[in-house]
Chain A
């Protein structure tokens, strides 16, 4: 009778050998067949991105029979996706050839050396001229090279409930030209329509990017100041625009246009606002993204078939109507090439296939994206996808992108801390000062410059 430990050791050894053998044999099988590893994110289960990836894979493999496209979708939240992607990129053995990259991560990942510069290849690509300038900027690294190409984007606008506005006596369509117009409208709603939050602004630490991007930067971009000076590469502190924006938020919360702190700072608030409050007329207006209609569709999380009649949309005004008059913020995803790829030509070919006019159109329509190609933007299938599309596409002309340098996540949290402080009653001047101090602590005084 053999002893347990002998048997067990044998089993363990066998298991270890099998594991190693199994894995290495999977690797060696590729020697005569080029394989492209494409990694992307699937959020939720129905994925227009997956559909367009499958389409691109089929097209590409047909045109290039000696290459296999290995699609590796990751089903997770965006945050976990970034983590997994970074881990994969750190090791050459697992680094993908083609990467679906959040525009917000491009600068950081490029600085980490994960992405390959594409400038020359793009210049030689005939379709590159179709891409709008804003989209080209989305894929830029800190060094000015282009590391990623936009697959689609989103813009922000002012969504409002028409019933609420009518009941408040505000003429429709609502076309505010300054922050004062917005405040006036909110005041009217407050006076005339009970049980409604006139103007929701996302703020606070738990609402993270939703707050700092949609709640703060959409308004800051309407002032003369910005968060970050692209030309000098320095973060702006002591900025009037920053304080003014905090002042706006302070007023909105102080006057009761937005809910009290305990409701406003709920991390799940965004879905409540666009899924329940806006359709039911519990909120007057809110700055939110161009993707909202997908949530109201029959297949969305909160179907709302009457939205085209009940909901209006307007451009976000700048602080006093100056500059371009309106402003917006954009995010969106891009496609990049892994720097460690062994097949750069094939990888780039696949990228161009993925971003062809046909596929970009398909993704824009099915994924409720805003087109980044002029030809796609002109297609009737695209403009007719839902009534808001032409409007949000126009916003691309005035849109801004977040200064997503490697330090941005920490600084974004500081913005959130500032807005939360203001919601809780701290004066905008004090909150702005605290922000300035924190930013200096994060990036060092040499990397900051004064805004006034």
Chain B
């Protein structure tokens, strides 16, 4: 690994041995992280990747004698009737709840909070944080009770004379998307608040003196200045949302039918309900691939601004 000091210039050849040693020393702080991740994450991930090429099972004869099956699992997955649906549902879930929902609500809340009065800021902030820190199982239950046919939402709607639909049955994806936005927006809000804080007021002042109104200010000044944070947050929330499992599982169990079985749920069902661990990791590999595609899209799209 070669590194250069900000002020380094010329005479690189002379400095090679020292630079190399210095590079290694500079990399030492990375060591504990690398070791932990290598041992506990990389190893198992590689095993799982290999496992997707076998018919390993948790029970039954394939547990005693797992066989290498090559790409059979993949073939079976791509021709199974539930797979395309699962992929589409996952994409819908991720785009709607993370890209649009959490980022939109988070940014909106961050912008509004800056101009709110102090007591409002305190209380609203506390409520937001409350939704964020609720453990996933508790949040999932609260959301289940909220969207249930006889739950809070329909009770409120009945109060104003509307008969609400059976959300979890008729619009399961809407329910889980809203629940995920409820749970995750606060994190985006914190990120955007920090980013907004960093915009120097001088710039905003001079823009407003130049006649920039609210929306123009936002579009021409604010947005570009938080682009880095936005790109990073989009990537992060997208990847995190891809692996959401417990929230959906507790709310709808993937149903009705398979109407809310996203890829993590499909992987869980195959690996643990049917004991087909090899096949389950096949689904997980597909999930990783989709994550990779998203990552590449973000990096390509926002590359000049993303500064790493």
Contacts and interface: CB of A to CB of B under 8 A. Distances in A.
Contacts of B166: 262-263
Listed residue (B58, B168, B272, B273) with the most chain A CB atoms within 10 angstroms of its CB: B58
Contact of A112 (B31, B60, B252): B60
A266 B257 contact: no
B135 to A, nearest CB: 16
Contacts, number: 91
B275 A406 contact: yes
A111 B255 contact: no
A5 interface: yes
Nearest to B144: A268
Contact of A79 (B149, B168, B254, B273): B273
Interface in A197-223: 204-206
A262 B169 contact: yes
B64 interface: yes
A413 B82 CA distance: 13
Contact of B57 (A265, A406, A420): A406
B58 A204 contact: no
A18 interface: no
Contacts of B275: 86, 108, 406, 409
A267 interface: yes
Interface string B38-70: 000000000000000000011111111000000
Contacts of B225: none
Interface string A1-35: 00001001100100000000000000000000000
Contact of A406 (B60, B257, B258): B60
A356 interface: no
A109 interface: yes
A197 B149 CA distance: 18
Contact of A262 (B62, B149, B253, B274): B149
Contact of B59 (A12, A112, A204, A267): A112
B120 interface: no
A431 to B, nearest CB: 13
A5 B255 contact: no
Contact of B64 (A5, A79, A87, A111): A111
B208 interface: no
A204 B61 CA distance: 29
B308 interface: no
A206 B256 contact: yes
A90 interface: yes
Interface in B159-178: 166, 168-170
Contacts of A265: 169, 255-257
Given A86-B58, A206-B256, A262-B149, A409 B274 contact: yes
Given A86-B58, A265-B169, A206 B149 contact: no
A233 interface: no
Contacts of B123: none
A88 to B, nearest CB: 11
B28 interface: yes
A90 B273 CA distance: 17
B273 A113 contact: no
B214 interface: no
A267 B31 CA distance: 48
17 contacts: A5-B28, A5-B32, A79-B273, A86-B63, A86-B275, A204-B256, A205-B258, A261-B169, A262-B149, A262-B169, A265-B256, A406-B61, A406-B62, A406-B275, A407-B60, A410-B274, A420-B257
Instruction: Please list the 5 inter-chain residue pairs (A to B) with the smallest Cβ-Cβ separation, ordered nearest first.
Output: A406-B60, A112-B63, A86-B58, A262-B169, A113-B64
Given A86-B58, A111-B60, A406-B275, 14 more contacts: A5-B32, A8-B32, A79-B272, A86-B275, A105-B59, A109-B59, A114-B59, A205-B258, A262-B149, A262-B170, A263-B149, A407-B60, A409-B274, A409-B275
